[in-house]
């Protein structure tokens, strides 16, 4: 099969990983435990596509996220992004000792909105999630789900070409909340792309059209979300049987054809 050219891929790519490798890291607190690096990771995310990255920290999902954001040095390969991604993770959490309004204002400023646009943007964001009356309330006194709904609305308001997000349970709920779901759908219709990283395929299946399954730093599956989630359920059925689970991992890895992207 001929290798796909970037120009031949349907739709404008938002991010391209081309045979990416990153060295693993040893956990200094557990001298025998090592986080897998990335090895020969290749995939394309197109405009308007919501993609899940399934795996644990030990599988290298955090490295993949940081590499896409441009904060990790590659050992091999190339990464192409349409523009600087916006990352929603624990490091960008709201300050609980500040008001909701102040936190959103700080966030939209970091997304390069300025001047008179900021106040209008903050007001529209709060209104869109029904939290206008909570603008001056400290985040410590606001339900965690409402905070995540407001964060999501603020980030989507900036309409980044690529949004990368960790998926703790409460953020998954915010994405599945009716207002969050509608905002995400509008964002995708405008050509934005979405990478959500998590360990729960049932949540990823409801949010994403496609799931990329990462294990020990390598892609072992990349396909429609329902198909990948169903294969993952096989592991759950053998929970506790380490030999059988490792056998399944090897089988999945052998059956994944991989991909190569020629960039000109």
Global pTM value: 0.86
The Cα–Cα gap between 153 and 132 comes to: 13
Q: Which whole number is the average pLDDT over 208-225?
A: 95
pLDDT recorded at residue 4: 37
Instruction: Report the pLDDT value the prediction gives residue 34, as an integer from 0 to 100.
Output: 58
Mind listing the pLDDT tens digit for each residue in 93-104?
Answer: 899 999 999 999
pLDDT tens-digit series, residues 22-73:
988 765 555 555 567 999 999 999 999 999 999 988 999 999 999 998 888 8
> Structure tokens of 112?
């390069």
Closest CA to 52 of 184, 176, 186, 204: 204
Instruction: Find the range with the poorest average confidence among 3-17, 197-211, 230-244.
Output: 3-17
pLDDT value of residue 158:
85
The more confidently predicted of residues 232 and 176 is 232
Alpha-carbon dihedral sign for residues 84, 154, 177, 95: positive
The model's pLDDT over 152-165, given as tens digits with 9 standing for 90+, comes to 999 998 888 899 98
**C-beta of residue 64 within 8 angstroms of C-beta of residue 197:** yes
Mean pLDDT of 118-146: 93
Is the pLDDT score of 167 beyond 60?
A: yes
Q: Return the pLDDT at 114.
A: 63
Question: In this predicted structure, what is the pLDDT of residue 181?
Answer: 87
Mean pLDDT of the chain: 85
Mention every residue, 6+ apart, whose C-beta is less than 8 A from residue 24.
34, 35, 36, 37, 60, 217
The secondary structure of the chain, three-state, reads CCCCEHHHCCCCEEEEEEEEEECCEECCCCCCCEECCEEEEEEEEECCCEEEEECCHHHCHHHHHHHHCCCCCCCEEEEEECCCCEEECHHHCCCCCCEHHHHHHHHHHHCCCCCHHHHHHHHHHHHHCCCHHHCCCEHHHCCHHHHHHHHHHHHHHCCCCEEEEECCHHHHHHHHCHHHHHHHHHHHHCCCEEEEEECCHHHHHHHCCEEEEEECCEEEEEEEHHHHHHHHHHHHHCCCCHHHHHHHHHHHHHHCCCCCCECC
> In the predicted model, is pLDDT for residue 210 greater than 90?
yes
Q: Between the ranges 7-21, 179-193, 210-224, where is the mean pLDDT highest?
A: 210-224
pLDDT value of position 74: 93
User: If you average pLDDT over residues 183-197, what whole number do you get?
Assistant: 91
pLDDT bucket at 166, cuts 50 / 70 / 90: confident
Q: Please give the share of the chain, as a percent, with pLDDT higher than 90.
A: 50
Identify any residues that bridge with 87 across adjacent strands, giving them in sequence order: 164
Minimum mean pLDDT among 30-39, 161-170, 249-258: which range?
A: 30-39
Which token pair is 218?
A: 């390598």
Model pLDDT, residue 33: 57
pLDDT (0 to 100) of residue 110: 84
| pLDDT of amino acid 169 | 65
């Amino acid at each position: 099969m001929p290798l796909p050219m970037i120009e031949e891929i349907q739709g404008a790519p938002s991010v391209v990983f081309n045979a990416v490798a990153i060295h693993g890291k040893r956990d200094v607190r557990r001298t025998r435990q090592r986080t897998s690096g990335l090895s020969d990771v290749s995939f394309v995310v197109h405009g308007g596509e919501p993609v899940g990255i399934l795996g644990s920290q030990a599988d290298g999902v955090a490295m993949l996220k940081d590499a896409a954001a441009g904060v990790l040095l590659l050992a091999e390969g190339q990464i192409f992004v349409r523009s600087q991604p916006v990352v929603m993770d624990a490091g960008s959490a709201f300050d609980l000792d500040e008001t909701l309004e102040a936190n959103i204002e700080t966030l939209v400023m970091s997304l390069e909105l300025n001047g008179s646009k900021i106040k209008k943007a903050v007001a529209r964001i709060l209104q869109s999630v029904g939290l206008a009356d909570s603008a001056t309330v400290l985040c410590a006194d606001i339900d965690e789900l409402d905070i995540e709904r407001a964060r999501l609305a603020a980030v989507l308001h900036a309409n980044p070409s690529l949004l990368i997000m960790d998926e703790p349970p409460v953020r998954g709920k915010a994405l599945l909340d009716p207002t969050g779901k509608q905002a995400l759908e509008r964002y995708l219709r405008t050509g934005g792309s979405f990478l959500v990283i998590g360990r729960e395929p049932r949540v990823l299946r409801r949010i994403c059209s496609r799931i990329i399954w990462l294990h020990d730093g390598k892609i072992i599956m990349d396909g429609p979300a329902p198909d990948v989630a169903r294969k993952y359920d096989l592991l759950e059925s053998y929970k506790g049987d380490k030999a059988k689970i490792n056998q399944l991992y090897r089988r999945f890895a052998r059956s994944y054809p991989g991909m190569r992207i020629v960039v000109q």
